[in-house]
Structure 1
Amino acid sequence: MTSQPSVLRADARRNRERILEAAVHAFSEKGADVPFDTIAKAAGVGSATLYRHFPTREALVEAAYRNELARVCDSAAGLLADNPPDRALRLWMDRFIDYLAAKHGMADALRAAVASGADPFAETLDKLRATLGTLLDAGADAGLLRSDIDPFDVGLSLSGVALITSAPAQRERAGRLLDLLLDGLRYGAAGPA
């Protein structure tokens, strides 16, 4: 993993974000071997800027993957602030399914990174478990969701939905399956607090 200074200048931070967005898109659309120059051009930066932030392909893949996961997980707080907890969870589920679709598109790049010794998944489970735990606890505290749910079980369920509905044409079916999952999470809840 490439370590970044704790505080980047604003322009460097913007460049890094643009590079990560371009990388996710490029790896998803063109595969693991997309040239760095293509990513740099799409991000609107020079190759030297890209290499300064990410000296290896594995470092870029790992950072892009973790950045996408962080975006999804970080969105939970805003969703909870703006919605009832059960609705926030359902909206977050949609974001997670979309994230997994992007991850699926990056599969070759992730496999290549892992083969070279990188571990882009090192923090994934803990981050997901914590985010799902926050959403589920808020729902249980409000009496809208059951209180006996293991966040890891929900994560596995979401992964299963993503696996069987990975084609873009299946996105509507994924939504219906997420609705069923949420209904199961509501079953037996205490009722609105």
Structure 2
Amino acid sequence: MADEELNRHQRAAETKRRRTREAIISGALDLYGELERGDFTRDEIAEASGVGTATLHKNFGSKYEVLRLAYERLLSPLVDPIVKGREQGIYNPPDAVDELIRYIYTVARVSQKRRALTVSMIRSYFEAELTFETLGSPIAPAIECILQFNPFYLQVDDGLRYARTLLLDLQHERRDNVAMCVSRTLCQQVVRVNADGFNWSASDAWYERLERIEAAVDTSGIVDECGK
């Protein structure tokens, strides 16, 4: 077989593989939808995606891999503008503390809205017995970008550590206002540890900042855009 023909077959096979993976990821997102509780087997995910179980196993090594990529797709409208903008040198938030709060609260709101998918992803991660650095990988890159701006100073692996904390808090917190509770606690922790010289003397100003950003996120429509 000529090299040109071989390359053509290779490209066709790669295109088919990408389309199959996309179908499975989209199928998982649709299957979990906006369920608050519930989980699905790999067989059920395969059926919802229109592929056989063997095909799913061939393309994904674990259920966690499928759900992580589905969750990553869900958050892409939040993460991509920050990460890609930083890579291109055009991302420059005017207030990094505001940006951190906005990002973490929005991630928490989207995760709360898609709670079944979020919790199932976390559970499948632990069932797969993967190294802890992997959990939170869809969230961490944007946190790391934000922490590169004043008044923050980035510590090694801070992004993954905070992303992991956010996910585990979302999993275990049961109050109706879970997104608000966990994001406020985490943002305060990040700012206290990583913000150089940030003024904490006026606590009222801090809560006014939180309330202003949360209200802006809730009325922006971005939460509904995620997952479409």
Report the TM range for the smaller structure's normalisation. Answer: 0.5 to 0.7
Output one character per residue of 1:32-85: Cα deviation in whole Å (capped at 9) or x when no partner: 45862x7634x5x3xxx24353148x9562232220454448953413536614
Secondary structure in structure 2 of the residue aligned to 1:138 = coil
- Aligned partner of 1:138 in structure 2 is 148
Structure 1 residue 104 corresponds to structure 2 residue 119: yes
Distance in 2 between the 1:123 and 1:150 partners? Answer: 9
Contact (CA 8 Å) 1:27, 1:106: kept in 2 or not?
Answer: no
**Residue 188 (structure 1) aligned with residue 199 (structure 2):** no
Q: CA deviation at 1:155?
A: 3.7
Shift of residue 129, structure 1, vs aligned partner? 9.1
Among 57, 65, 68, the residue aligned to 1:66: 68
Shift of 1:124: 1.0
Match of 2:47 among 29, 40, 43: 40
Q: Is the 8 A contact 2:140 2:163 kept in 1?
A: no
Deviation at 1:31, TM superposition (A): 2.6
Q: Secondary structure at the match of 1:15?
A: helix
Distance in 2, matches of 1:59 and 1:28, equals: 26
Identify which range, 153-162 or 123-132, moves more after superposition: 123-132
Q: Which runs of 5+ in 2 are unaligned?
A: 1-12, 86-90, 199-228
Gaps of at least 5 residues in structure 1 are none
The aligned counterpart of 1:20 is 28
Shift of the 172–155 alpha-carbon distance from structure 1 to 2, 3 Å rule, reads closer
Which residue pairs with 1:51 in the alignment? 53
Cα deviations by residue, 1:2-51 (Å, 9 ceiling, x for unpaired): xxx75436754542332231354499743345862x7634x5x3xxx243
1:93 aligns with 2:66: no
RMSD: 4.6
Distance 1:30 1:124 in 2: 23
Structure-1 separation of matches of 2:107 and 2:136: 15
1:165 pairs, out of 163, 173, 181, with: 173
Q: Which residue identity lines up with residue 67 of structure 2 in the other structure?
A: Y
1:78 aligns with 2:81: yes
CA contact (8 A) 2:28 2:66 kept: yes
CA 1:61–1:52 in 2, change beyond 3 Å: closer, same or farther? same
Name the TM-score, length of structure 2 as normaliser: 0.50
- In 1, Cα distance between equivalents of 2:101 and 2:120: 23
Q: Under a length normalisation based on structure 1, what TM-score does the superposition of the two structures give?
A: 0.56
Q: Is the 8 A contact 1:90 1:179 kept in 2?
A: yes
